[in-house]
Amino acid sequence: MGGIFTAVVKPLSAVLSSIGPMEVTWKVLDPEIFYAITFTTTPYVFTSRIQKLVKEHTHVIFPCCIQDHWLIFYTELLSDGTAVLTSLNSLGGLGTVEARRHLIRILTARVPGGPSFPSTWRCVEGYSPQQDNCCDCGVYAIGNILYLGYRTIAGYPLRLPWNIKTLRRRIASLLGTPWPDAMWHPPSSS
């Protein structure tokens, strides 16, 4: 699944940028960034780059794989100065605590000359559709990334009843297969 994530990072950022208000900006990071975070001892240059990305975008999405399970985290720096790190995990808490620890270490590091950052982050576990098997976590993680963009549309439901076939088709279309563009539009209420 790591190769698929890497392949859809740019298309996901483009899709998210085309949805919702212009003032909402998205950056989906390559999963390799998370691996670098987990193995780094917080060198200033790397940490400064991550913090700069978080400062430049209203949402930065970190796909990560912990214990062979894919989940995502995303950051939000709210207008009142609150910093929020939200996890979306299709298997509940599996890997969430460990991944959050790595991300918070990078986000709270003090970097000489780096961006001014909050020293505390509010950590939230967001809603994620729950998978019913042990092999679709990556599909659900990518689906959660797509859902984040759609939720910025006023009136869009906060919980989507996506099924695995729909999610797989959306990912296939990101990879350039000939699925119809209509599948990107929010489902009708009928």
Specify the CATH number for the domain of residue 125.
3.40.395.10
The residue segments making up the domain with residue 118 are 2-184
End-to-end Cα separation, the chain, in angstroms: 33
pTM over 0.85: no
Give the Cα separation of 122 and 117 in Å (integer).
13
51 occurs within a structural domain:
yes
- Domain presence at residue 111: yes
Q: Are 44 and 172 in contact (CB under 8 A)?
A: no
Both tokens of residue 118?
């909050």
Is 22 contained in some domain? yes
Tally of domains in the chain: 1
Laid out side by side, the sheet with 122-125 consists of 26-28, 59-66, 69-77, 83-88, 122-125
Asked if residue 154 is part of any domain, the answer here is: yes
- Return per-residue pLDDT of the chain as tens, 190 residues: 556 777 777 778 888 877 777 888 889 998 888 888 877 666 778 888 889 899 898 889 999 888 888 888 999 888 888 899 998 887 767 678 888 888 998 888 888 877 777 778 999 988 777 777 888 888 888 888 888 877 766 556 555 556 777 777 777 777 776 554 444 444 444 4
Determine, yes or no, domain membership for 162. yes
β 69-77/83-88 pair status: antiparallel
Residue 190, pLDDT score? 43
Q: 25: closest CA among 36, 33, 14? A: 14
In a domain, 29, yes or no: yes
In a domain, 104, yes or no: yes
- Is residue 190 domain-resident? no
**15 in Cβ contact with 143 (< 8 Å):** no
